[in-house]
Amino acid sequence: MHVETDTSGPYEVVWLGNGALRLGIVPALGGRLLSLVHDGDELLWRNPALLDDRLHPVGGHRPERTSGPMANWRNYGGDKTWPAPQGWSSPGEWAGPPDPVLDSGPYAAEVRAGSDDAAVVLESEHDPRTGLRLRREIRLRAGEPGYDLRVSAVNGSAAPVRWAVWNVAQYPGGGTVHVGVGPGFGEPVELAVGTAAPTWTRPRPDTVEVPAQDAVGKLGFPHATGRLAYTRAGRRLTMEFDVHNGAPYPDGGSRAEVWMEHPLDRPLEHLGGLAPPARIVECEALGPWETLAPGAETALGVRVTVAPAGEEGGTP
């Protein structure tokens, strides 16, 4: 195991390595995992207009808390945790990104290192808008081509609130997503359609395939079994996560979601002026939609592994 904290820039960057993977984590930028390197190749999408390979700001960019419409969002990329459902019509929806606390605010960080594993525990400030404090634990074990996430939300307010945790990983576009689905399959839910909802097929009863395409939009999967696989450039990233059968989920019951975007000639005004910076695919895992008493917590466990694509092309 190798653990390094880089303090040469305007904020700390924590690097974890185990001989198979190297992870770069920036607590100051919303507690994000911003680098996932396997055999010398970066697997996460990261915005090169904002951050360099050291995860330091470039081009005079100054990280700061950001709010307002999506036109104001500084999309750094990487893997992050937000509350769900997302929306702008009621206090029970998270009106972000951008967001000055949970998305662009600094997270406190604690590094825990041992001989066989290392972890970074990240915790946000209290967010008065949602009542939540988010927590992310990123753990890497010696020699394993994968890492573990435990993401949670604690109600820090004096009244009950209802939220789900929502983990979002951004990857470079051009690959194919396979979503494991279970019995009683119904068509995916179309969510946040920018130009068009992504097209999909069902090559097997237990799998939905979302191929590479130029679309700006999202699909939600109410019958997801807790397995997403993204295949691109000869590698397969597999995301396995907890599913609670019978529990309510936001976004029409979606347990998993896939968002795609690509650059456009003009911003999407009906999505708050969103201007996609690149071809990006998001693989998203959601926890159950729970009512939390003051001090109560909701959590989600996620395992991400990296492997050669193989002949099956990443099918779960």
Dihedral angle over CA of 240, 81, 259, 65, nearest 10: -160
Q: Which pLDDT does position 315 carry in this prediction? A: 46
CB count in 10 Å sphere of residue 74: 19
One-letter amino acid at 183 equals P
Q: Which pair of tokens denotes residue 233?
A: 């450039």
- pLDDT tens digit sequence for 197-225: 999 999 999 999 999 999 999 999 999 99
Residue by residue, pLDDT tens for the chain (316 residues) are 999 999 999 999 999 999 999 999 999 999 999 999 999 999 999 999 999 999 999 988 999 999 999 999 999 999 999 999 999 999 999 999 999 999 999 999 999 999 899 999 999 999 999 999 999 999 999 999 999 999 999 999 999 999 999 999 999 999 999 999 999 999 999 999 999 999 999 999 999 999 999 999 999 999 999 999 999 999 999 999 999 999 999 999 999 999 999 999 999 999 999 999 999 999 999 999 999 999 999 999 999 999 999 744 444 5
Assigned token pair, 243: 């599913």
Q: Six-digit token pair at 151?
A: 């993401």
What radius of gyration, in Å, describes the C-alpha atoms of the chain?
A: 18
pTM value surpassing 0.75: yes
Cα–Cα distance, 275 to 264 (Å, whole number): 7
Q: What is the pLDDT of residue 310?
A: 78
DSSP string, the chain: -EEEEE-SSSS-EEEEE-SSEEEEEETTTTTEEEEEEETTEE-S-B-TTTB-TTS-B-TT-------SSGGG----BSEEEEEESB-SSSTTSB--SS-TTTTTS--EEEEEE-SSEEEEEEEPPPBTTTTEEEEEEEEEETT-SEEEEEEEEEE-SSS-EEEEEEEEEEEESS-EEEEEE-TT--PPEEES-SS-PPP-EEEETTEEEE------EEEEETTEEEEEEEEETTEEEEEEE---TT---HHHH-SEEEEEE---SS-BGGGTTB---S-EEEEEEE---EEE-TT-EEEEEEEEEEEE-TTTTT--
Q: How far apart are CA 250 and CA 300, in angstroms?
A: 14
